Amino acid sequence: MKKLILVAGVVLVMAAPLYLLTKNTAAEPVKDYNLVSPTVKVEAYRLARNGDIYQANAASATVISPSGLLLTNSHVVLDYQDDAYDVFAVCLSFKENEEPVCEYSAFLVGYDKYLDLALLQFVGLDNRGGSVPALPYLDYNFSGEATVGQPLDVYGYSDIGGKTLTRTRGQLSGFEDKNGVAYYKTDTDISGGNSGGTALDAEGNFIGVPTYIVSSYENLGYVLDIKAAVYFIEQYRDSQPTVNEQAYEILKVKKNVINDAKDDNVYTHPYYPKFSLAADENWQWDNISKTGLRLLYESNEGTKDITIEIQPLPFKTPQSYLDEAVRKLGLINEYLTDFKQEATTMAGQPATHISYNYYSQQLNAYIIPYGYAVFNIIYYVNLDQADQDLADINNVLETLTFKEPANDQPQVIETLAKSDPAFTIGRAGDWYILRNADPLKEDLIATYHNPADVVGEIDLSYQEIDDDFKAVDNAGYLDLMLKGHETLAGFKLINKNSALTIDNLSGWSLTYSYEGEESQEVRKVSTVFLRDGEHNYTIIYDDLLDNYNRYLNDFKQILLSFKNHGQPEDRIGRGRYDIGSLDYVFSDITYHRYEQAIANLADRGVAIGYGDGTFRPEKLISAAEVKSYLNKAFSESKRTQINRDGAGFLQGTTVTLADGLKALAESFELNLWQDKYNDAVDWKPYLDKGLAMNLLPAGLLEPQRELTRGEFTYMLYRLLESFELI
């Protein structure tokens, strides 16, 4: 018979199976720690760059020592890049038929990726500062021998077992050595939430750790033999944990808010705008952050949820923002049935209510301006039980109460300063800086908003460069990004620059236009990429085309305000800026029918403009200019069949269509139809070739028509394109 050890020195000897939780009676205390299961739930949290945390993983662990060491899997505590999460919530099960109590925390002690094991240290205080007595724990020094066919119980908080601690029973099906590590094979159901849980034999011996990550398609689960974990545990058991105080403090606040809501059936939002909301025990509170929360209702009749989104703004909510939100809903859903929009009130505040039917559901949304924020409430109801669903949801929404007045004082950030990464950046014109408050947008640092331009936005992000791109130079990286964007509807390249520099950080920029989501909408976007070691800054301005042109200088001023304060501070070149145009090289080709061809060849140094920044596409092209274009195009060409004197015959000041086609054909040594009987005029083979290769501008067929700069540029562009040279 196996012993379940308590730190207080009390030894509980229980009949097999030992590990079943004791059911509490009404006379027993709510939190009798002697009754706590040694299998605990673990939630992993990441501290985002914006200073908030978000849940990134959830699994199980086993208490294995008097000091509160928790044994789990390394893939539970590490992200996909093998970076450890920052803090861990621990949930204890006091009753087998109730959800665990998530009022506790832990920090990472150590991990071994090869064994897929990790140790956490349980914090001896609950999240309110109350002391926690030592927890029941399991002995990991199992010395017996397991046999094929013996019963095997797996305990954990599995995906298949709901929200309570779950036992899945099977048998030990065999043994397997994976890369020198011993595993048990079992037909016991193992799912993601079981990872790091507890595997027991029929006598209650702790014999292994369920390791979902190596489960196979054969419906066999794998359990790490606990003997393989002993050396790892002994190696790390006395090590000091890595403590992230900032993440820990935030976790305590969030967990206390959720637990208060569960205890009192009233949720009080801890961030601006503070509000309260009452809901009975059937509702679950989830995803709490500065940008909102979610309430989930689950029953035998189905599920329903309420999502509250809080969009902070760096200025008092303009009516234009509300109008735009309503307009988009109306445009997107104009084909749906029963679309309704009405002015109303919610929690004593003016609001807009929108509803429409979509298949078997009805969407409802309330848009509420509240000082320097927009408060959105969104929920769906099932049409076949709409009356009951609406009644349940309205019972909750009727309790919504704002607990603080709307903030009417501007929160203007003239200069955003960060220490990690170390930089400063300013604002310009009517663009206001808003720090990112959504922890799920981990790489996003800030956005710029303009109250006069509600459809445009400037985003500033910082992220690690993908391993596949770290060795790629700026020009290569830019080409890869360009290929990835060329599939966008209506894509038109405007400008690309692989030699961009901002405060001596090198990078690239890509500017293009594309079709927006709405009919006849053309948008323009510039992406600026700056290398910072193995990380990069990305600054993106996306707006309607006319707005982009109007506010481009503001965007440039924002870029020029960027100061890199990373090491070394005294490096050579600090303060050097070269951002290029971020627009067409020429100021007079926007909306021109040949703008794409001109912009493309200008980007390659083939199409040359004038000193005043214009191209003058309707000006007649000269013979000298045609020769210059072709010479520059040769340096871009990879064709071996090139006659660098193909345009040598050109004379005079202007060039006809026939001469332009002949210059292209002779220069690129195109195969032409041969008139054996000299029946055709001289220009006929060239015109035929131009038509066959689709080189001619629309409506241009007169061979003696003099060509404009735009027309010849288009013809050269089409020829280079046909040979896949651009």
**Cβ neighbours of 277 (radius 10 Å):** 24
The arithmetic mean of pLDDT across residues 649-668, rounded, is 87
Question: Do the Cβ atoms of 190 and 196 come closer than 8 Å?
Answer: no
Q: Write the pLDDT tens digit of every residue in 347-379.
A: 999 999 998 888 888 889 999 999 888 899 999
Residues 229 and 209 sit within 8 Å (Cβ to Cβ): yes
Characterize the bridge pairing of strands 198-200 and 181-186: unpaired
Residue 160: its pLDDT value, please?
A: 59
pLDDT band, residue 433 (cuts 50/70/90): very high
Q: Which of 325, 273, 266, 272 minimizes the C-alpha distance to 295?
A: 266
Buried b (16+ CB within 10 A) or exposed e, 331-352: eeeeeeeeeeeeeeebbeeebb
- The mean of the pLDDT values for the chain is 85
Say yes or no to pLDDT of 496 above 70. yes
The answer, yes or no, to whether residue 633 has pLDDT greater than 90, is no
Residue 433 and residue 651: Cα distance in Å, rounded?
58
3-state secondary structure of 186: strand
Q: Which residues, other chains included, contact 56 with Cβ-Cβ below 8 Å and sequence gap of 6+?
A: 44, 45, 46, 79, 85
Looking at the predicted structure, is the pLDDT value of residue 92 above 80? yes
Query: 286 and 295 in contact (C-beta within 8 Å)?
Result: yes
Predicted confidence (pLDDT) per residue in 131-172, tens digit: 988 899 999 998 888 889 899 999 999 875 568 898 889 999
59 band by pLDDT with thresholds 50, 70 and 90: very high
Inform me whether the pLDDT recorded for 3 exceeds 50.
no
Higher pLDDT, 263 or 562: 562
Of the listed ranges 196-200, 239-243, 368-372, 475-479, the least confidently predicted one is 368-372
Would you give the end-to-end CA distance of the chain in angstroms?
77
pTM of the model: 0.73
Would strands 577-578 and 432-435 be described as parallel, antiparallel, or unpaired?
A: unpaired
Question: What is the average per-residue pLDDT within 62-68?
Answer: 94
Assess whether pLDDT exceeds 90 at residue 520: no
Confidence of residue 519 (pLDDT cuts 50, 70, 90): low
Helix (H, G, I), strand (E, B) or coil at 682: coil
pLDDT digits (tens, 9 = 90+) for 26-52: 333 345 677 889 999 999 999 988 889
Residue 194 DSSP one-character state: G
For Cα atoms 607, 608, 614, give the angle at the middle one, nearest 5 degrees. 110
- Summarize the confidence of residues 457-468 as an average pLDDT: 92
Backbone torsions φ then ψ of 667, nearest 5 degrees? -65, -40
- The pLDDT value given to residue 168: 87
**Residues in contact with 394: Cβ distance below 8 Å, sequence separation at least 6, in sequence order:** none
pLDDT at 564: 92
* pLDDT given for residue 549 in this prediction: 87
On the question of pLDDT at 412 being above 80, the answer is: yes
Q: What is the pLDDT of residue 16?
A: 29
110-119: average pLDDT: 95
